[in-house]
Amino acid sequence: WGSGVIGGEISQEKIHGNSLGDHRRDKANIFAERLLKYENRFSITIGGCGYKYGDLDWNFEPGVDLGFRVRPGLRFYGNVGGAFRVPTFTELYTASSANKGNPDLEPERAWTTELGSTIHSDPFHINMSVFRRQGENLIDWVRNNPENPWQAENITSLNTNGLELDIRYYPQRHFAGLPVYLIQIGTTWLKSDAGAPSYQSKYALNYLNRQLQTSIEHGLPFGFHQTWNLSNRDRKNGDEFTLLDSKISGQIQTIGISFTVSNILDEEYYEIGLVEMPGRWF
């Protein structure tokens, strides 16, 4: 009958703040999952999570994952499942001249469906997938004109279709003496049906259209190695930026050492709303 897991959690969140006030929220959830396999070729995972937050009623989010190995190195998979996000204390209780919280917010909900395949053919590892996410009651900060404060609201539904491709190449399996361990290229393409809203949105509708990422990992003297990450992102509002990061790490006897440089190109960019992200830092 395969293998399974069952578990649960009871906890409480509290906040004491000058601007948000004093609040608490009780949480409880229970989850279960069962994995079944047949001749190491076909697998099915069935599970679900029931949860309760504060005054909300109990809710249940199911999930199913299927996998089929056609032959060694080639596998197809598919999954469908529900997800949720409860509003934060900030979204519920903020009270300032610029931002107004909303204690009546409902949780965000989403259904995601995915189909994909993985291919292992030394020295390559390739993963491809297409997916659709159907979101409801998205929480965002909105306003009708720039003179009004931002108001937290359950704004709309948002359906997103996406394509992901990840290719990894391990050169040393072809060329044993080459100092390059890994070359990786990944891309994500998204298409959402948000339309043209009649209000200003702070971040929920400024989603990514496309992301391209490349990574290279290679060796250095004295047993150290270095990783380079280059990514290009394009958002719905037209903002496009390129980030370059690098990390050197290694070990001398029992001491681990690492040195990181982020945003080497000192790019000026914004991830959420009007919050500027850090420039070059070490």
Give the distance from CA 274 to its chain's centroid: 20
Q: Which of 199, 192, 106, 188 is closest to 154 using CA atoms?
A: 106
Q: Of all residues in the chain, what percent are helix, strand and coil, respectively (each to 5)? A: 5, 65, 30
**Cβ contacts of 236 within 8 Å, gap of 6 or more:** 192, 194, 205, 206, 207, 208, 209
Q: Do the Cβ atoms of 273 and 202 come closer than 8 Å? A: yes
CA distances 121 to 74, 125, 213, 217, 218, Å, are 9, 6, 22, 20, 21
Give SS3 for 274.
Answer: coil
Give SS3 for 263.
Answer: coil
Q: Which of 207, 94, 201 is closest to 146 using CA atoms?
A: 201
Other beta carbons less than 10 A from residue 54's beta carbon: 13
- Phi/psi for 226 (5° steps) reads -130, 140
pTM over 0.85? The answer is no
Burial readout 70-100 (b: 16 or more C-beta within 10 A, e: otherwise)? eeeeebebbbbbbebebbbbebbbbeeeebb
Can you give the pLDDT of all 282 residues of the chain as single tens digits? 789 999 999 999 999 988 888 999 999 999 999 999 998 899 999 999 999 988 888 999 999 999 999 999 999 999 999 999 999 999 999 988 888 999 999 999 999 999 999 999 989 999 999 999 999 998 988 998 888 899 999 987 889 999 999 999 999 988 888 899 999 999 999 998 866 667 788 777 777 889 999 999 999 999 899 999 999 999 877 788 999 999 999 999 999 999 999 999 999 988 766 678 999 999
pLDDT, tens digit, 9 for 90 and up, residues 11-68 = 999 999 888 889 999 999 999 999 999 988 999 999 999 999 888 889 999 999 999 9
